[in-house]
Amino acid sequence: MTSLIRNADINRRRLLATGAAAGVLAMPMAACAADAPSEAVEVQIAEGRLRGARTGGVDAYKGVPYGASVSGMNRFKPARPVAPWTGVFDATRLGTPSLQDPTTVYGKNEPAPGEGCLVLNVWTPAGGGKGRPVMVYSHGGGYTTGSGGSTAQDGSMLAREHDVVVVATNHRLGVLGYLYLGELGGADYAGSGNQGLSDIVLALKWVQRNIEAFGGDPANVTIFGESGGGAKTSCLYAMPSVAPLFSKAIIQSGPVVRITTPDVAAQTTRMFLEQLEIAPADWRKVLDVPAPQILAAQKALNAKVKSDSGGWRGIQSLTPGTYGPILDGDLLPHHPFDPTAPASAADKPLMIGWLDNEAAFFAWTGKDVEAFRLDEAGLKARLSGRFGDKAPALIDAYRSDRPGATPSDIYLAAASYYAMGAGSVLAAERKAAQGRAPAYVYNIAYRSNRRMDGTDIELGAMHASDIPLVFNTVASPDTLAGSRADRFAAARNVSAMWANFARTGRPSAPGQPAWPPYDPKTRSTMVLDVACTVVPDRFGAERRAWAKVDPAA
């Protein structure tokens, strides 16, 4: 899956970076108790005392600093732990998101993005307790946008209903998180291409040090994330030095099989410096460039580097001019799932999956109305343009496996599997082959009734509509999960599966069938919906068809 799984969300990242999807994800997505009266609460952690807010039976601490300054001479270097403070730190408001356009973060009363972004949020059931499972979330938005403060990802409902502690981090993104200076800066900048990930590692160390104060169990930590957050989770799962900091992982629509190499990252660095009119020999000048100019240069380079993925290929492009994790002899010495699943996580259970209609999101945010109205000629033209003379056989396989499917149904299903499904299946296969800890594969089939703007087209089980289901933030009819009355039942199932996996390593939900681990013979897949079902080798015919189109599939 080398060329296939360039790993999962480049278009979403580009669209969000340009603000194209801002109106979509910025809509209200608050949990049901968000407007309840609050009272002040305090907790003592290793660095000092925090003041949070208790609302609806959940204590929330927001904007908690976990890292020291990463600006000026500290740019592109590993973050250090935040220094202890005196007095009481006010943790009742969200902290600063990583540097990006302000239209691509979606928190309520969230500060303007900037460099002082090493903060996290904690939600925990009120009233004491200890030994709770801990769920540490990495937000989506590729490697360039988003924050842990999004209202769609508010951890209150997960904490309240499932007795877990939820943590969400902000961390460096884009140039500040992934600009590789090892070639120019030498040993002092050897890890510079992965600082966005190293920030999350620092937050996981904070969790180990402090989570007991919130009732959490530092020996039972699950890392999870969606889209770009799934990509980050894929990488964290593969880091040998991070293995002691977590026990399980969930990768949502973000399988990363391979990552960028230092030589490609070095080309990106030179392209970025050229955008700033800085000669490679004078690279240190980038340490003094004001943050707004850094962002402007990043956006200008993004505009020059055109992706041809069309929502088909994963979260990270391996071409110069894009930002994301790189192979690093220290932090990330191997590709996450190539040629095998990571040995350092062999004993750690993994959940991985995608949604039935992922590609609808990218067509929606890309204003590609025609994707939903294709005729036979249009379908053949789109697939032939990408897969040449192998397209007819692929279309025949989908039509045989999906009687009655329209040309658009086939196009969107193929795009969804190729972008997200194939990498998820490959990762699960390689995880299962280790025989040490289970892999669980899911598809989310719940169909949102959100419509494409100005049309009657329902978007269905599209990319990112799992977020409100996982966090059970579906009370508002404006979430990506839509307004159907049965969304509450679907959210109860999905959130319970996630929380119980975090608790025991085995996903389950009341009244739903037992979820068997994935293996290469049965390929059991849990289809998550209002009523969940286990289906053996759900997309087997299509999987085999893709193997002929792209042997890596």
Annotated active-site positions, please?
227
With contact defined as beta carbons under 8 Å apart, do 472 and 495 qualify?
yes
In order, the DSSP letters of 146-173 are --TTBGGG--HHHHHHH--EEEEE----
Tokens describing residue 407 = 């040309």
3-state secondary structure of 251: strand
Helix/strand/coil (H/E/C) assignment for every residue in 25-65: HCCCCCCCCCCCCEEEEEEEECCEEEEEEEECCEEEEEEEE
With contact defined as beta carbons under 8 Å apart, do 451 and 457 qualify?
yes
- Structure-derived torsion over alpha carbons of residues 109, 112, 116, 117, reported in degrees to the nearest 10: 60
Strand-pair partners of 526: 442, 534
Name the DSSP letter for residue 244: G
Phi, psi of 362 (to 5 degrees): -70, -35
- Structure-derived torsion over alpha carbons of residues 403, 409, 414, 417, reported in degrees to the nearest 10: -100
For 456-462, which contacts have Cβ atoms below 8 Å and span 24 or more sequence positions?
457/369, 457/372, 459/357, 459/360, 459/361, 459/364, 460/356, 460/357, 460/360, 461/355, 461/356, 461/357, 461/358, 462/355, 462/357, 462/358, 462/359, 462/360, 462/361, 462/364
Tokens describing residue 223 = 């890392």
The H or E element spanning position 177 is helix 174-178
Contacts of 364 (CB under 8 A, 6+ apart): 24, 452, 453, 459, 462
Whole-angstrom distance, CA of residue 281 vs CA of residue 259:
27
C-alpha to C-alpha distances, 94 to 63, 122, 280, 438, 470, nearest whole angstrom: 5, 11, 37, 36, 21
C-alpha to C-alpha distances, 130 to 124, 214, 313, nearest whole angstrom: 10, 8, 42
- Structure-derived torsion over alpha carbons of residues 149, 153, 159, 164, reported in degrees to the nearest 10: -100
Whole-angstrom distance, CA of residue 66 vs CA of residue 119:
6
- Alpha-helical (H) ranges within 345-406 are 358-365, 376-387, 391-401
Q: How open is the CA angle 513-515-516, to the nearest 5 degrees?
A: 130
